[in-house]
Amino acid sequence: MAFAPVIDGKSCIIADQSGSGKTLAYLIPLIQRLRQEELQGLGQSSSQSPRVLILVPTAELASQVSYLYTKGDGNPPHVIMKLFPS
């Protein structure tokens, strides 16, 4: 299960079929960990100092991840989207 490695702050590669819940499998514990760190005064993210990097292969998936993060966290993340032609 992906939750423990994400909560522990480890690098993760998550792969499965579409609709299996991969995005939420890492976003839920990620949001939880970031909130815990902020409550402990361990820092906040900024565009100059990101705490998390999520790489996705398409702009559509990047929009989905950003949307789900915003819904779960209540605050929009600092998003930098760079697309490379295939």
Vertex 12, ends 8 and 14: CA angle to 5°? 130
Q: What is the pLDDT of residues 56-81, one digit of tens each?
A: 888 888 888 888 877 765 555 555 55
CB atoms within 10 A of CB 13: 7
Put simply, whether the predicted model's pTM sits higher than 0.85 gets the answer no
Q: Which long-range contacts (CB under 8 A, 24 or more apart) does 10-17 make?
A: none
Which pLDDT value is given to residue 61?
Answer: 84
- Mean pLDDT, residues 25-35 taken together: 80
Tokens of 6: 């994400």
